[in-house]
Structure 1
Amino acid sequence: MISAQRLRSLMILWTVLCLSGVASASNSVGIKHFRFSGFATLGVTKSGDEDLGFHRDLDREGVFDGDWSIAADSLVGVQFDVTVNDQFGGAVQLVGKDRTEDSLENSVEWAFLRYRLNPNWTVRAGRIGYDLFMLSDYRNVGFAYLWTRPPIEFYAPLTFTGFNGGDIAWAGGFGGGTLTGKIAYGNTACTFNILGNLVDIEARNIIAATLSWESDRWQFKLNASDTQVGEKGGFFPGSAPLANILQQVSPIWPEVSRVLDDFYVSNSHIFYYAAGLAYNSNPWQIQAEISRTDPKLNLYPSTLQAYVSAGYKVQAFTPYLMISGGQVQEDAKQAPDAPVLPSAPQISGQLVAIQQGVQSVYDALNTDQTTLTAGMRWDIRYDTALKVQLDHSWVGQKGFSLWDTRNIPTQDKKVYTFSINLNCIF
């Protein structure tokens, strides 16, 4: 039987070979459009403290102790687009960046074939980017947006950037702009860094719907998705080792049955809803998004994420401000008190350590954070921009899910992140 990972690799390879065949066939049948392009970011980032390490996505290594890092924001990407005729084409995009688990398969962001049924309807199949937010098509293209990186509170939890499957879209004129509706289905997987441990999480049976409208100045988008994570009847991905320990100590600590219920997956659906609005008319660049993650998982809390950004362009320079935040919509979970066994102090100490481990898992999945951002973008030329940005983040003691963690925080945190990015397209 072919494994899911092997099947994904074969699917991507098939798509790449199809596109290569299209390019090779162009000598005999002709090709309407062939384009090679790329983008790159050279970034220097200073962030983190002795407990929390900065990472712009949950699949990256953290930057601790206020150290400088080149890997935190730097990346390079190449894209290959082919249009055979008015109906048939495709694209492949590869992105090289720092990851907790690096591989050629993980570097392939897009690898899809596209067929246009008529001027309004388009079907795609292969590896396709998630269309769940305003920056879906250019999240990795730093030159395409104002800041050094997309706001962490809103975009970092959405580490899944693409899926293997297909979508069908309708687009047409409406109200002086273009109205687009899209439905997508697929599966994907990613390796997350949670409490210093690498956790493989598969997202399957993803169903997503998008409605967007765009004109010369305005952009509006609504998104909704349903994703299944974890196997029903098992434990939440990454929690099985701790759950097994809890099962062993349950005879002397009955209260852990509640924790086991939290770790247990009985209904694995995660619902996600988002809305975004952008206005771009010289000199103003204004953008805002809000989303709600609503998991039907006891361990994973409902969370609200949002940001508002405004920039004002003066010749080649655009100063900007942004406020962003993420907040759980439920009371923080508390691990049950460990029992005290006077006749067995060593065991009592071990139970306290287990209690602390459970609490750290609860806190590591909570988000309680607000960030105030100030920055400046300098458009050096039509294809190159230099950005400088300072972030001041307030992180709750029991809400550090957006950070790599070396030690569990004992109090609320204030963390500064300073970054300089050179972005280009080619």
Structure 2
Amino acid sequence: MKKRIIASALAMSFAVPCAFAQDASAVRISGFGTGALTWTNTDKAEFGRPNQASGAKKDVTTGVDSNFGVQADYAVNSWLSVTGQGLVRKDAQDDFGAELAWAFAKAKVSDDVSIRVGRMGVPAFMISDYRNVGYANTMLRPPAEMYAQMLFNTVDGADITWQHSYGDTTYTAQFAVGKSDVDIAGGPKLEGRRLTAVNLVAEHGPLTVRFGRVDGHLNLTGSPSLTTLLTSLNTFGTGYHIPQANQLATDIDVRDKKASFTSLGATLDWNNVLVQSEYAKRKTDSYVNDTTSWYVMGGYRFGKILPYYSHAKLTIDDSVHNGMPAACPAGYPAACTPTIAALSGFVAGLRYTGVSQGEQQTDSIGVRWDFYRSLALKVQFDHVRPSQKGGLLINSQPGFHGPVNVGAVALDFVF
């Protein structure tokens, strides 16, 4: 990775804490990273993580699963601290780039209550706070079928967390408010406004159960194809006096549209047995598909070696309804009906474009080997079965239908 990129990540992660730092001994530096090689058995489509602009084909690549992060924590006093985290990875831009993943101040109001202000992770998943820390996760990567359904990684705002133990059970309740932005691969930008997030967790011995809910309003900008379609629908509806076209344009447009993401998860880490599962529903009032996603992973430890298997699935519950009439009323110009057919085709195609991906399921087998302190070696093979239009795969060529086999070897570390 380029020196300037690493330097910028380090600078970002230190910027907030060092602004307060007067006693260097109060600053704690930590970090994480993954060096990985990923490949597939096809050149007709690319396999990548959610929102990556490009992915792996037959040739081995380092870009899909490799990253590097560094974090600085500074304790201002007994109740106030500041945290900054910089992250280098490949995302919507087709190159390694640095981002400010975390930058918040935390106030400990009481033994049970804390408040954070700044940039935090969106608490949408079981592993939201450490989804990019490979060493903290059993699998080489989180299942895309689940984690591609919520592209917002961070929220700029504030949250309050309450945590208390009753007997052998620890309960955590978190509530966050704010906004979020994410650049989508291909150029568009997705904005989340008036975001609220609820995260409820119960931990009892080896069992952890979690419920989460994120609500907000979406705005999608910078999509020429969507803008062209909306203009065409409105022009067609007005010119031919077909109100269904105008209404369809309003329904499709992603402008201040309500959206929600509801998830339920559980982890059991008992003796040598490890089981993890999540289930989620995404709903929007726009052309972005309503979806159901889930996965289940099971593994068994043999000393420092942990083989595992997972199955993940993504299905579309509801997509944009084509409200166009099948034909123009009698007496309309001959060009009207072919135009309806063409616009109907564009509308149907929205089901598989932008943030509305196709359906997919994946079976994965892998093994984790904790061969040394703070180091873990992982090998994982995935059998990806997209149902239509390439599923979650990237840059699929005409005629591609899958399935795709994916292999990866990764070295995870923390310091």
What is the TM-score with the length of structure 1 in the denominator? 0.83
Q: Any conservation in 1 of the 2:13–2:86 contact (CA below 8 Å)? A: no
Following the alignment from structure 2 to structure 1, what is the Cα–Cα distance between the partners of residues 319 and 231?
A: 26
SS at match of 2:18: helix
Change (3 A) 1:309 1:217: same
Number of equivalences? 397
Q: Structure 1 unaligned runs (5+)?
A: 1-12
Match of 2:268 among 279, 300, 316: 279
SS at match of 2:376: strand
Match of 2:19 among 21, 31, 40: 21
Change (3 A) 1:171 1:103: farther
Structure-2 residue corresponding to 1:387: 378
Instruction: Note the C-alpha offset of 1:214.
Output: 2.0
Instruction: Note the C-alpha offset of 1:282.
Output: 3.1
Following the alignment from structure 1 to structure 2, what is the Cα–Cα distance between the partners of residues 406 and 150?
A: 22
Structure-2 residue corresponding to 1:403: 393
Structure-1 residue corresponding to 2:364: 373
Structure-1 residue corresponding to 2:40: 47
Instruction: Note the C-alpha offset of 1:235.
Output: 11
Q: CA RMSD in A?
A: 3.3
Change (3 A) 1:227 1:78: same
What amino acid does structure 1 have at the position aligned with 2:395?
T
Change (3 A) 1:338 1:318: same
Instruction: Note the C-alpha offset of 1:311.
Output: 0.7
Instruction: Note the C-alpha offset of 1:103.
Output: 10
Instruction: Note the C-alpha offset of 1:163.
Output: 1.2
Following the alignment from structure 2 to structure 1, what is the Cα–Cα distance between the partners of residues 397 and 245?
A: 24
Following the alignment from structure 1 to structure 2, what is the Cα–Cα distance between the partners of residues 236 and 62?
A: 18
Say whether 1:313 aligns with 2:301: yes
Structure-2 residue corresponding to 1:154: 146
What amino acid does structure 1 have at the position aligned with 2:228?
P
Following the alignment from structure 2 to structure 1, what is the Cα–Cα distance between the partners of residues 69 and 222?
A: 36
Structure-2 residue corresponding to 1:246: 233
SS at match of 2:127: coil
What amino acid does structure 2 have at the position aligned with 1:375?
G
SS at match of 2:197: strand
Following the alignment from structure 2 to structure 1, what is the Cα–Cα distance between the partners of residues 27 and 285?
A: 45
What amino acid does structure 2 have at the position aligned with 1:112?
F
Following the alignment from structure 2 to structure 1, what is the Cα–Cα distance between the partners of residues 157 and 224?
A: 23
Q: Any conservation in 2 of the 1:204–1:229 contact (CA below 8 Å)? A: yes
Q: Any conservation in 1 of the 2:369–2:378 contact (CA below 8 Å)? A: yes
Change (3 A) 1:284 1:14: closer
Change (3 A) 1:51 1:262: farther
Instruction: Note the C-alpha offset of 1:300.
Output: 1.9
Change (3 A) 1:215 1:83: farther
Q: Any conservation in 1 of the 2:252–2:320 contact (CA below 8 Å)? A: no
Instruction: Note the C-alpha offset of 1:378.
Output: 1.2
Q: Any conservation in 1 of the 2:188–2:222 contact (CA below 8 Å)? A: no
Fraction of identical pairs, as percent: 25
- Greater CA drift, 180-189 or 64-73: 64-73
Mapping of 1:7-406 within 5 angstroms? 17-23=15-21, 25-26=22-23, 33-47=26-40, 49=42, 51-58=44-51, 60-63=52-55, 65-101=57-93, 107-193=99-185, 197-230=186-219, 239-250=226-237, 251=239, 254=242, 256-257=245-246, 259-265=248-254, 268-297=257-286, 299-330=287-318, 333=321, 356-364=345-353, 365-397=356-388, 400=391, 402-406=392-396
Following the alignment from structure 1 to structure 2, what is the Cα–Cα distance between the partners of residues 407 and 262?
A: 30
Following the alignment from structure 2 to structure 1, what is the Cα–Cα distance between the partners of residues 37 and 360?
A: 23
Change (3 A) 1:339 1:417: farther
Following the alignment from structure 1 to structure 2, what is the Cα–Cα distance between the partners of residues 332 and 175?
A: 49
SS at match of 1:329: strand
Say whether 1:417 aligns with 2:410: no
Change (3 A) 1:324 1:190: same
Q: Any conservation in 1 of the 2:359–2:387 contact (CA below 8 Å)? A: yes
Following the alignment from structure 2 to structure 1, what is the Cα–Cα distance between the partners of residues 79 and 36?
A: 39
Q: Any conservation in 1 of the 2:290–2:319 contact (CA below 8 Å)? A: no
Following the alignment from structure 1 to structure 2, what is the Cα–Cα distance between the partners of residues 395 and 338?
A: 30
Q: Structure 2 unaligned runs (5+)?
A: 1-10
Change (3 A) 1:379 1:84: same
What amino acid does structure 2 have at the position aligned with 1:240?
T
Instruction: Note the C-alpha offset of 1:131.
Output: 1.3
SS at match of 1:128: strand
Following the alignment from structure 2 to structure 1, what is the Cα–Cα distance between the partners of residues 254 and 320?
A: 19
Following the alignment from structure 1 to structure 2, what is the Cα–Cα distance between the partners of residues 351 and 52?
A: 31
Following the alignment from structure 2 to structure 1, what is the Cα–Cα distance between the partners of residues 224 and 213?
A: 23
What is the TM-score with the length of structure 2 in the denominator? 0.85
